[in-house]
Chains A and B, each alone.
Chain A
Amino acid sequence: EVLYLPRPSLICMSMATSNAAYPLKFNIISKCGTTAARTAKMQLPHATVDTPVFMPVGTKGSLKALTTDELSKLGCRIMLGNTYHLGCRPGPEILSASGGLHGYMHWPHALLTDSGGFQMVSLSKLCNIDEGGVTFTSPYDGTELRLTPEESIRIQNGIGADIMMQLDDVVHSSTTGPRVKEAMERSIRWLDRCLAANARPTQQCLFPIVQGGLDSDLRIQSLDALASRDVAGFAIGGLSGGEAKSTFWRIVKLCTERLPAGKPRYLMGVGLPLDLVVCVALGVDMFDCVLPTRTARFGVALVPEGQLQLKKRQFETDLRPIDDRCSCPCCTGGYSRAYLATLLKEDGVTLGCSLLTAHNVAYMLNLMSEMRQSLVDGKFSEFVRQFFRLQYPNPTDYPEWAVEALKSVGVSLLSGEDVKKSSCNVDGSGDVEVK
Chain B
Amino acid sequence: MASGVAAWLPFARAAAIGWMPVANMPMPIAPTEKNKRADELIVLNVSGRRFETWRNTLDRYPDTLLGSSEKEFFYNEETKEYFFDRDADVFRAVLNFYRTGKLHYPRSECITSYDEELSFFGIIPEIIGDCCYEEYKDRRRENQERLMDDDEDKKDAKLPNMTFRETMWRAFENPHTSTMALVFYYVTGFFIAISVLTNVVETVPCGATPNTKEVTCGDRYTVAFFCMDTACVLIFTVEYLMRLFAAPSRYRFMRSVMSIIDVVAILPYYIGLVMTDNEDVSGAFVTLRVFRVFRIFKFSRHSQGLRILGYTLKSCASELGFLLFSLTMAIIIFATVMFYAEKGSTSSKFTSIPASFWYTIVTMTTLGYGDMVPKTIAGKIFGSICSLSGVLVIALPVPVIVSNFSRIYHQNQRADKRRAQKMQKARLARIRISKTGSSNAFLHSKRNGLFSEALELTQLPYKMNLSDQSSIEEEQHLSKNQSLLESQHHHLLHCLEKTTNHEFADELCYEQSYLEGALQSYPSQSPSLSSQEGMTGTCCTRHTKRNHAPLPNSSILTCALSHTHPHHNLQELSTIHIQPLNTSRSSLNMRVDEPARLNCQSGTITTAIISIPTPPATTPESDAHPPPPGPALQNVVKVSAL
Q: Do they bind each other?
A: no
Task: Tell me the A residues contacting B by CB distance below 8 Å.
Answer: none
